[in-house]
Amino acid sequence: MNRNAINLASQPFRRDRPILAASAAVGVMLVGLLALLISLATAEHGQMADTRREVARLERQLRELSAEQAKLEAVLRQPENAEVLERSLFLNTLLYRKGISWTRIFSDLEKIVPHNVRVVSIQPQVYEQNRIFLNMILGAESTDPVVELLMRLEGSQAFGATYVHSYLPPSQSEPLFRYRVSVSYGQKF
C-alpha cells in the first residue's frame, strides 16, 4: 500500500512560531541599536558644536593678536622709531651673547676633546632662533685625533653638526695641524 500524506486543510500547517519569535527578538535588538546610534550621534553633534565654538573663539583671538602685532610692527617701522628698534636689536644680541656660559662650554668640551687635541680658540656666535655655533681652531700633531673629535662632536647630545672650514699643515713656526671648525652647540638660554 502506498500511503501518501495528503493535507486537506485550506491552510497547511507551518512551523512559523520560532521564526516569528526570532524575528521579533532581532527587531527589538535593532530598535535598541538604532536608539543607541541616535543617542551617540546627538552626543557627538553636541561635542562637534562645542569644538566649533572653541575653534571659532581661538580663530577670533588669533585675528585680534595678529591685528595687534601688525599695529605694533607698524609703529616700530616708523622712521622716528627705527633707531630705537636698531638699538633694541643690538642690545638683545648682546644679552644673548652674555647668556652663553663659558663654564658650560668648557665643561662639555672637556668630556669630548681627546687628550692629544688642543683647542686654540673658541668664538661663539648666536644665530636666528637663538642657535649657538662655536667657531673653533683646533690643533693636533696628526689628523686622526681631530677626526675622532669631529665624530665625537657629531655624536654628542650637547653638540651637533660640524663643518671643517679649512686646515693648515704643520710649518716651521707652527708644529701642529690647524683646523678651523664650526659646530652647533645646544646650550639653552
pTM passes above 0.85: no
Mean pLDDT of 81-98: 76
Instruction: Please say whether the dihedral angle defined by the alpha carbons of residues 164, 169, 174 and 176, taken in this order, is positive or negative.
Output: positive
More confident residue, 44 or 101: 44
pLDDT above 50 for 146: yes
Q: Find the mean pLDDT for residues 36-46.
A: 93
Residue with cell 610692527: 73
Distance CA(148)–CA(126), nearest Å, equals: 26
Residue 13 is predicted with a pLDDT of 65
Task: Give percent of the chain above pLDDT 70.
Answer: 87
Mean pLDDT across 77-82: 79
pLDDT averaged over every residue in the chain: 85
Mean pLDDT across the stretch 147-167?
A: 88
Q: What is the DSSP secondary structure assignment for residue 115, as one 8-state letter?
A: T
pLDDT tens for 10-34 read 666 667 788 889 999 999 999 999 9
Least Cα distance to 154 among 164, 141, 167, 144 occurs for 164
CA dihedral 76, 82, 83, 88 (to 10 degrees): 40
Task: Give the pLDDT confidence of 99-141 residue by residue, as tens digits.
Answer: 777 888 888 888 888 889 999 999 888 776 667 888 999 999 8
24-59 burial, b if ≥16 CB within 10 A, otherwise e? Answer: eeeeeeeeeeeeeeeeeeeeeeeeeeeeeeeeeeee
pLDDT tens digits for 59-74? 999 999 999 999 988 8
Q: Model confidence at 189, in pLDDT bands (50, 70, 90)?
A: very low
The residues, any chain, with a CB within 8 Å of residue 120's CB and separated by 6 or more, are 136, 137, 138, 139, 178
DSSP string, 118-180: EEEEEEEEEEGGGEEEEEEEEEESSSHHHHHHHHHHHH-SSEEEEEEEEEE---SS--SEEEE
